[in-house]
Structure 1
Amino acid sequence: MFLGIDIGTSAVKALLADGHQRIVASSDVPLTVQRPQPGFSEQEPDAWVEAVIAAVDALKAAHPAAVSAVQGIGLSGHMHGAVLLGADHRPLRPAILWNDGRSSAECAELEARWPALRAVTGNKAMPGFTAPKLLWVARHEPAIFARTRLVLLPKAYVRLALTGDAIEEMSDAAGSLWLDVGRRDWSDEALAATGLDRSHMPRLVEGSEPAGQLRADLAARWGMEKAPIFAGGAGDNAAGAVGLGAIEPGSAFISLGTSGVLWATTDRFAPNPDHAVHAFCHAIPATWHQMGVILSAASCLAWLAGVMETREADLLAPLGERPAGPSPVQFLPYLSGERTPHDDARIRGAFAGLAHENGRNAMVQAVLEGVAFAFADCRDALAEAGTVISGADVIGGGSRSRFWVEILANVLGFPVHRLSDGETGGAFGAARLARLACTREAPEAVCTPPRRIETIEPDAGLTGAYGEALARWRGLYPALRGAAA
Structure 2
Amino acid sequence: MYLGLDLGTSGLKAVVMDGAQAVQASAVAPLSVQRPHPGWCEQNPADWLGATEAVMAELGAQVDLGAVEAIGLSGQMHGATLVDAAGDVLRPCMLWNDTRSHAEAAAMDADPIWRAITGNIVFPGFTAPKVAWVRTHAPEIFARIDTVLLPKDYLRLWLTGAAVSDMSDASGTAWLDVGARDWSDDLLAASGLSRDRMPLLVEGSDPAGRLRDALADRWGLRRGVVVAGGAGDNAAAGIGVGAVASGQGFISLGTSGVLFAASDAYRPDPASAVHMFCHALPGMWHQMGVILSCTDALNWYAGLVGADAAGLTAGLGPLQAPGAPLFLPYLGGERTPHNDAAARGALLGLGHATDRAAGTRAVLEGVCFAFRDCLDALRDTGTRIDSLIAVGGGSRSDYWLEALATALDLPIDLAAGGDVGGAFGAARLAQMAKTGQGATLAGRPAIARTIPPRRDLVAAFHTGHARYRAAYAALKDTI
TM-score using structure 1 length: 0.90
Determine whether 1:115 maps to 2:112. yes
Aligned residue identity for 1:370: G
Determine whether 1:450 maps to 2:448. no
List per-residue Cα deviations over 1:204-259 (Å, max 9, x = no partner): 10000011111223223333334201100111122222222222221111122333
Change (3 A) 1:19 1:476: same
State the percentage of identical aligned residues.
Answer: 53
Change (3 A) 1:207 1:478: same
CA distance in 2, matches of 1:326, 1:92: 48
Of residues 182-191 and 246-255 in structure 1, the stretch that sits farther from structure 2 once superposed is: 246-255
CA distance in 2, matches of 1:479, 1:195: 40
List per-residue Cα deviations over 1:318-355 (Å, max 9, x = no partner): 643343x3324433222333221112233233333444
Q: Which residues of structure 2 form unaligned runs of 5+?
A: none
Question: Aligned to 2:264, which of 261, 264, 267?
Answer: 267
CA distance in 1, matches of 2:365, 2:243: 26
- State the match for 1:464 in structure 2: 459
- State the match for 1:87 in structure 2: 85
Secondary structure of 1:237's aligned partner: helix
Secondary structure of 2:143's aligned partner: helix
- State the match for 1:198 in structure 2: 195
CA distance in 2, matches of 1:413, 1:423: 23
TM-fit CA distance, 1:357: 5.2
CA RMSD for the aligned pairs?
2.5
Aligned residue identity for 2:146: R
Residues 329 and 353, structure 1, Cα contact 8 Å, conserved in 2? yes
TM-fit CA distance, 1:124: 1.4
Residues 281 and 438, structure 2, Cα contact 8 Å, conserved in 1? no
Secondary structure of 1:137's aligned partner: helix
- State the match for 2:396 in structure 1: 400
List per-residue Cα deviations over 1:73-100 (Å, max 9, x = no partner): 1111221122223333333333332232
Change (3 A) 1:225 1:473: closer
Determine whether 1:170 maps to 2:167. yes
Residues 167 and 201, structure 2, Cα contact 8 Å, conserved in 1? yes
- Larger-Rg structure: 1
Secondary structure of 2:373's aligned partner: helix
Of residues 448-457 and 231-240 in structure 1, the stretch that sits farther from structure 2 once superposed is: 448-457
List per-residue Cα deviations over 1:357-380 (Å, max 9, x = no partner): 555554443333222111110001
- State the match for 1:288 in structure 2: 285
List per-residue Cα deviations over 1:145-200 (Å, max 9, x = no partner): 22323222122222222222221101110011110111111111111110112111
Question: Aligned to 1:480, which of 470, 475, 479?
Answer: 475
Of residues 143-152 and 190-199 in structure 1, the stretch that sits farther from structure 2 once superposed is: 143-152
Aligned residue identity for 1:285: P
Change (3 A) 1:394 1:217: closer
Determine whether 1:102 maps to 2:100. yes
Question: Aligned to 2:375, which of 376, 379, 383?
Answer: 379
Secondary structure of 2:372's aligned partner: helix
Of residues 140-149 and 123-132 in structure 1, the stretch that sits farther from structure 2 once superposed is: 140-149
CA distance in 1, matches of 2:205, 2:265: 18
Residues 244 and 422, structure 1, Cα contact 8 Å, conserved in 2? no
CA distance in 2, matches of 1:30, 1:308: 23
Of residues 45-54 and 209-218 in structure 1, the stretch that sits farther from structure 2 once superposed is: 45-54
Q: Which residues of structure 1 form unaligned runs of 5+?
A: none
Aligned residue identity for 2:369: F
Residues 99 and 341, structure 2, Cα contact 8 Å, conserved in 1? no
Aligned residue identity for 1:5: L
Question: Aligned to 2:155, which of 158, 162, 168?
Answer: 158
Secondary structure of 1:190's aligned partner: helix
Change (3 A) 1:146 1:435: same
- State the match for 2:5 in structure 1: 5
- What are the residue-to-residue correspondences of 1:201-280 with 2, within 5 Å? 201-280=198-277
CA distance in 1, matches of 2:478, 2:91: 40
Question: Aligned to 2:66, which of 65, 68, 87?
Answer: 68
Secondary structure of 1:118's aligned partner: helix
Residues 272 and 384, structure 1, Cα contact 8 Å, conserved in 2? no
Aligned residue identity for 2:104: E
Residues 289 and 377, structure 2, Cα contact 8 Å, conserved in 1? yes
TM-fit CA distance, 1:481: 1.7
